[in-house]
A = this chain, B = another copy of it.
């Protein structure tokens, strides 16, 4: 036998795998995360689960269908990042805004694979598009409420909160998009006096909306005390 040029399939003793569907998605998530995108073959995925590649087609119409499932999980995960940011942030609305931006950037950095599927795929599938709209509807409520609160405390400039929210999404998304690609342009990266941190980047995006933006001096003192 030519035997194993791939890692030996973990032999299972039962003929049926009992929850192959879940196992396939889980492994796909893992592979995508490891490789920063859907750079795996169905065959290697199936083999690594000790299953023939055609078994996968019992559970997913094709590879795209599998990727859509994974993408949907990505939006859920992103929602969890957002919620965690809200609960973990200090109590000021401005702190929360900062945490929300930072969470977006953390997600793009830590979950490259998900981010690529969610935002760097073309053409975007209908399923992904509606998953995104659903996520946005939720996320927007939180964001707008937080902006309103930050306006009430006088930290954020006046204006229609939903409009400000639109700005506040675009800049972090732009940054996240660079970040996800693994190469933040130098002239942006050097806005950060230290190693790139999400908190820093979030602050950068937020500055234009602040009634009292920090001076470079203040920033240096605040972060490198």
Q: B residues within 8 A CB of A174?
A: 169-177
Number of copies: 2
Interface contact B36-A182, CB-CB below 8 Å:
no
Q: Which of B37, B167, B173, B185 contacts A177 (CB 8 A)?
A: B173
Q: Given A112-B122, A124-B181, A174-B177, A133 and B186 touching (CB < 8 A)?
A: yes
Mark each residue of chain A from 201 to 225: 1 if its CB lies under 8 Å from any CB of chain B, else 0.
0001101110001001000000000
Instruction: Tell me the interface secondary structure of chain A in the complex.
Output: helix
Residue count of chain A within 8 Å CB distance of chain B: 50
Q: How far is the CB of A205 from chain B (nearest CB, A)?
A: 6
A165 interface residue (CB < 8 Å to B) = yes
Contact check, A204 vs B173: say whether CB atoms are below 8 A apart. no
With A123-B181, A167-B171, A171-B171 known, 5 other A-B pairs at CB within 8 A are A119-B178, A120-B120, A170-B172, A173-B178, A177-B177
- 13 sampled A-B residue pairs with Cβ under 8 A: A120-B181, A122-B181, A122-B182, A123-B182, A162-B191, A163-B191, A166-B204, A170-B175, A170-B204, A172-B174, A177-B177, A208-B208, A208-B209
